């Protein structure tokens, strides 16, 4: 190749040869001629930069190349020399060398045998290019791919990659478990094997379009039902993202089995409907009872019948909330989670309402045995307010002095009374207003007043407020104030009210200061 000028002094080189040698010396790669008997006949200065050894050091030690080869590649170097001598053909190879500073260097080399006039190989011409940076990047990419594979296999969701032809190129462990296809069966197969027959053409065309066009995916469910290897169909939640590797685009599909979520949603809906029907049925049965003297037995029965299905609904809500602890990955999953959370909130409101009905029915139909404890009234009022959803447009004021004496009462019973009265006040002020809860001492009793600026109670309803089953509310059972009166009386007190239409209502509770 360029052995024709080796051994001559630069002063006698013709200009073209001199320029050629200058170019060789400026080359980034190592250019060399290695005589099989005498060692290096020529090596350019790039050797100093790449392996740390100068040309002079190579000339001085004909075995230097064999000394600085990486131990794991020594056999490859020996085989290279043997192949060049025996086969007499150029060889391309990648080898590792140990730099003078101890660092491992990768090179890509092209080695060409040099023959004498008899055709025997007497030397090797070669070019070695430093590819250490490329190898480091390859190793990092390999490690990155391995990290991704491990993360994907740890994911509870199926993760698959599809190329622009609709072929599966990646398939994690969860995909194996979800669909029943092994990695070997899935990778290289068409993604259409996961799609319903009637949707195959439309869906596959859609996938190919989004992969190749670069258009953003629409924020609507594109794939709702998938097919397993055994032919079973099941609901899914799928999210899509585009993945580029070099100039090739892929579609990454994250798939979650929505069977359990669908069961919970359907169960919540069904249980809520059934429980609402049961409540309405039992309430109608109560209202139709002819004698108040028999209400105790009837209400106890109703409360018992409602408690079991109510507990079932509570358990379903617990399971649903537990599922929601997994963070969503995509906008689609966030939307599904938002809808489920909304459904859970509505169901929880219904449960709270149902639970109130059950408590009212049980308290109405049974004898009460209060457990008197020393209770700080201001704290009890604060706790009762915390149990009620107070609209922003309603101003609340607690007027209880710090030195107000503690009361010997059943705190749970009186808290229920306060919560009931606060809720009534909220309903009486749909457009906002003011709620004042104050306490004072009055003739040896503690007077607690719950005052609102609501619509007031019409004159014709006032003498019926404490009558069982009387209500003006669409969903009321007419037991709230009846139970309040019963709870207050069980604590040795009494309850009354004053009201003016358009001005508001004040309920007054009087409790003994001592027992």
- Residues contacting 223, CB < 8 A, separation 6+: 195, 203, 236, 238, 253
pLDDT for 352: 60
Helix%, strand%, coil% for the chain, nearest 5:
50, 25, 30
pLDDT for 97: 93
- Counting every residue, how long is the chain? 515
Task: Please check the confidence at residue 474 and state whether its pLDDT lies above 80.
Answer: no
Q: For residues 491-509, give the mean pLDDT.
A: 93
- Please, what are the domains in the chain? 3-130 (3.30.450.20), 150-257 (3.30.450.20), 260-365 (1.20.58), 373-512 (3.30.565.10)
pLDDT for 322: 66
Task: Please check the confidence at residue 117 and state whether its pLDDT lies above 50.
Answer: yes
Q: For residues 388-397, give the mean pLDDT.
A: 92
pTM, 2 dp: 0.38
pLDDT for 479: 73
Element (DSSP H or E) covering residue 77: helix 74-87
Q: What percent of the chain has pLDDT over 70?
A: 75
pLDDT for 4: 41
CA–CA separation, 191 and 189 (whole Å): 6
pLDDT classification of 281: cutoffs 50, 70, 90: confident
Q: For residues 76-95, give the mean pLDDT.
A: 90
pLDDT classification of 324: cutoffs 50, 70, 90: low
pLDDT for 138: 79
pLDDT for 258: 83
> To which residue do tokens 């993604």 refer?
191
CA dist 430 → 39, 386, 394 (Å): 100, 19, 9
Task: Please check the confidence at residue 6 and state whether its pLDDT lies above 60.
Answer: no
- The pLDDT tens digits for 332-364 are 666 666 777 666 666 665 666 566 666 665 565
pLDDT for 389: 86
- The pLDDT tens digits for 143-173 are 776 777 777 777 888 888 888 888 898 899 9
pLDDT for 114: 92
- Which phi and psi (to 5°) does residue 173 adopt? -65, -40
- The pLDDT tens digits for 451-472 are 999 999 998 888 887 777 667 6
Question: Comparing 511 with 324, which gets the higher pLDDT?
Answer: 511
């Amino acid at each position: 190749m360029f052995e024709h000028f080796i051994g001559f002094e630069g002063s006698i080189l013709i200009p073209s040869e001199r320029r050629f040698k200058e170019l060789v010396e400026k080359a980034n790669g190592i250019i060399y001629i290695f005589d099989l008997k005498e060692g290096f006949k020529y090596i350019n200065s790039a050797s100093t930069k790449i392996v740390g050894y100068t040309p002079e050091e190579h000339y001085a030690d004909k075995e230097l190349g064999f000394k600085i080869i990486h131990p794991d590649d020594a056999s490859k170097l020996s085989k290279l020399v043997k192949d060049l001598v025996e086969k007499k053909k150029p060889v391309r190879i990648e080898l590792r060398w140990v730099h003078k500073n101890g660092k491992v260097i990768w090179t890509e080399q092209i080695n060409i045998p040099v023959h004498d006039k008899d055709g025997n190989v007497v030397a090797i011409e070669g070019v070695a290019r430093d590819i250490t940076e490329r190898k480091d990047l390859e190793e990092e990419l390999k490690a990155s791919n391995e990290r991704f594979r491990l993360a994907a296999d740890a994911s509870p969701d199926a993760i698959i990659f599809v190329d622009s032809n609709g072929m599966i190129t990646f398939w994690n462990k969860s995909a194996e478990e979800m669909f029943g296809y092994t990695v070997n069966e899935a990778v290289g197969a068409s993604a259409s094997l996961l799609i319903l027959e009637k949707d195959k053409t439309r869906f596959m065309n859609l996938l190919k379009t989004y992969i190749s066009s670069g258009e953003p995916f629409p924020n609507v469910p594109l794939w709702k039902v998938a097919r397993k290897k055994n032919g079973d169909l099941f609901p899914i939640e799928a999210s899509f993202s585009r993945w580029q590797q070099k100039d090739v685009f892929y579609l990454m599909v994250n798939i979650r089995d929505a069977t359990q979520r669908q069961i919970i949603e359907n169960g919540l809906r069904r249980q809520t409907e059934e429980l609402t029907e049961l409540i309405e049925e039992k309430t109608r049965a109560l209202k139709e009872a002819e004698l108040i003297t028999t209400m105790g037995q009837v209400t106890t029965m109703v409360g018992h019948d409602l408690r079991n299905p109510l507990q079932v609904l509570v358990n379903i809500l617990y399971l649903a909330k537990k599922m929601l602890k997994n963070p969503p990955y995509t906008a689609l999953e966030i939307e599904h989670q938002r809808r489920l959370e909304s459904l859970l909130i509505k169901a929880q409101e219904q449960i709270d309402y149902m639970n109130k009905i059950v408590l009212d029915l049980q308290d109405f139909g049974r004898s009460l045995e209060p457990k008197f404890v020393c209770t700080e009234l201001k704290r009890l009022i604060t706790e009762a307010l915390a149990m009620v959803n107070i609209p922003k447009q309603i101003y609340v004021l607690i007027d209880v002095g710090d030195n107000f004496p503690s009361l010997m009462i059943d705190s749970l019973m009186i808290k229920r009374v306060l919560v009931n009265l606060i809720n009534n006040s909220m309903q009486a002020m749909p457009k906002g207003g003011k709620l004042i809860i104050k306490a004072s001492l009055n003739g040896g009793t503690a007077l607690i007043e719950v005052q609102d600026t609501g619509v007031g109670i019409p004159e014709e309803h006032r003498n019926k407020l404490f009558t069982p089953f009387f209500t003006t509310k669409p969903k009321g059972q007419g037991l709230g104030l009846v139970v309040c009166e019963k709870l207050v009386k069980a604590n040795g007190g009494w309850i009354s009210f004053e009201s003016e239409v358009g001005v508001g209502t004040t309920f007054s509770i009087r409790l003994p200061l001592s027992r």
